[in-house]
């Protein structure tokens, strides 16, 4: 059978997905909206092989084991069921950025795996069907399927997928990421989503989403950072408040996280147009204009505890590439 390779970008959500109404199907408790990060790429090659008795999965040059392997095998099983094939697969995936630090490697990885595996199985899904399939593996992966700025909404398997609200060239917004840790996070989002409803703040955050989402959508439409930034900051902090107050509680922040958050607000008070958001990890994503991105990067590098700085504009959707990884 054919060997197929796909590339995808991680995405950063301005309105977050945190909490599920259906854990089997990954149906989200609230709509979310993100931008693909064009400078960061995951590439995945898949081949279904008649002579293999198990799925072999290599991620960043290491054989996958435990939960990481189980999630990939479960996704290959979904693909095998769709394509009515039995063969086990050889999968090799490479992240061009640190995995497991809240940089959404699972989103890019499962978007790329969805396209590569379905094509390798002889299927040709349209964008909505591919997004729906990616969602089953990792909710946020559905938003890495379309290009640019993507909205994921819907409350049933059929209606729950991501679609583009603006193409990548609509707005050259920059995400300058302050990396404060390379450590693999101890608790992943799978458990976090499950625990979210135990927080006394959960219902309040979900109820606050529609108004914040309106502000973010308006900000994107009008290319106005000062309209979308405050809403994105509020939702990121609300999500982390839910994480911190769930049972068990999740505290993803490092000391340097707080240093960066405080610096962003101080720089904004001085006139720099900059807002922060964060995913399930200690790193801080700073949203700014391209004209101010190198100044933001320079200032972030000077802060104590900042190990590296990555910078990205909007990126395209999942796509096929010619260079196979094996
Ligand atoms: O897709 P998951 O299950 O890895 O959850 C993603 C959760 C956040 O990154 C924290 C928020 C989001 O919407 O991307």
Claim to verify: residue 19 and residue 115 sit in the same structural domain: yes
Mean pLDDT value across residues 51-74: 96
The pLDDT-based confidence of 183 (bands split at 50, 70, 90) is confident
Q: What is the pLDDT of residue 190?
A: 87
**Domain boundary, last residue among 102, 134, 169:** 169
Hey, how many other C-beta atoms are within 10 angstroms of the C-beta on 301? 12
Ligand 1 proximity of 138 Cβ (cutoff 6 Å): yes
Ligand 1 proximity of 140 Cβ (cutoff 6 Å): yes
Claim to verify: residue 254 and residue 139 sit in the same structural domain: no
- Across 199-203, 257-261, 280-284, least confident range: 280-284
Mean pLDDT value across residues 195-203: 98
Q: What is the pLDDT of residue 104?
A: 62
**Domain boundary, last residue among 169, 184, 208:** 169
Residues 6 or more apart in contact with residue 298 via CB below 8 angstroms: none
Cα separation, 262 vs 57, in Å, equals: 41
Average pLDDT, the chain: 96
**What sign has the CA pseudo-torsion 71, 76, 77, 79?**
positive
Mean pLDDT value across residues 198-217: 98
Q: What is the pLDDT of residue 102?
A: 58
* SS3 label, residue 55: coil
Claim to verify: residue 252 and residue 152 sit in the same structural domain: no
Cα separation, 296 vs 315, in Å, equals: 20
Q: What is the pLDDT of residue 1?
A: 80
Claim to verify: residue 71 and residue 137 sit in the same structural domain: yes
**Could you read off the pLDDT of 72-115 as tens digits, one per residue?**
999 999 999 999 999 999 999 999 876 655 576 799 999 999 99
Q: Is residue 318 part of a domain?
A: no
Mean pLDDT value across residues 283-295: 97
Ligand 1 proximity of 137 Cβ (cutoff 6 Å): no
Claim to verify: residue 79 and residue 149 sit in the same structural domain: yes
Distance 259 CA to ligand 1 centre (A): 23
Mean pLDDT value across residues 39-67: 96
Cα separation, 322 vs 326, in Å, equals: 12
Q: Which residue has the higher pLDDT, 26 or 1?
A: 26
Mean pLDDT value across residues 130-142: 97
* pLDDT of residue 244 exceeding 90: yes
Helix 127-137 to helix 105-120 angle (10° resolution) is: 120
Scan for tokens 């590339």, then name that residue: 7
- Residue span of the structural domain in which 98 resides: 3-169
């Amino acid at each position: 059978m054919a060997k197929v390779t796909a590339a995808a970008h991680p995405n950063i959500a301005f309105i977050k997905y945190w909490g599920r109404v259906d854990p089997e199907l990954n149906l989200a408790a609230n709509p979310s909206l993100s931008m693909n990060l064009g400078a960061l790429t995951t590439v995945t090659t898949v081949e279904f092989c008649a002579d293999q008795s198990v799925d072999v999965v290599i991620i960043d040059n290491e054989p996958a084991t435990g939960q990481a392997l189980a999630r990939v095998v479960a996704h290959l099983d979904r693909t095998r069921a769709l394509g009515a094939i039995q063969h086990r697969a050889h999968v090799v995936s490479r992240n061009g950025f640190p995995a497991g630090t809240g940089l959404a490697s699972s989103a890019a990885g499962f978007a790329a795996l969805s396209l590569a595996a379905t094509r390798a199985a002889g299927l040709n899904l349209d964008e909505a069907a591919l997004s729906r399939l990616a969602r089953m593996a990792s909710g946020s992966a559905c938003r890495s399927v379309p290009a640019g700025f993507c909205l994921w909404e819907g409350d049933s398997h059929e209606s729950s997928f991501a679609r583009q609200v603006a193409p990548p060239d609509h707005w050259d917004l920059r995400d300058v990421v302050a990396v404060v840790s390379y450590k693999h996070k101890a608790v992943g989002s799978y458990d976090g989503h499950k625990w979210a409803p135990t927080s006394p703040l959960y219902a309040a955050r979900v109820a606050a989403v529609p108004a914040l989402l309106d502000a973010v959508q308006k900000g994107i439409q009008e290319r106005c950072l000062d309209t979308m930034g405050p809403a994105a900051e509020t939702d990121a902090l609300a999500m982390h408040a839910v994480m911190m107050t769930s049972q068990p509680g999740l505290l993803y922040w490092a000391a340097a996280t707080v240093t960066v958050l405080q610096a962003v607000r101080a720089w904004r008070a001085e006139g720099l147009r900059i807002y922060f958001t964060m995913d399930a990890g200690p790193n801080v994503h700073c949203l700014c204009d391209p004209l101010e991105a190198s100044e933001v990067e320079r200032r972030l590098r000077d802060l104590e505890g900042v190990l590296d700085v990555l910078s990205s504009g909007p990126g395209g959707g999942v796509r096929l590439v010619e260079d196979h990884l094996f």
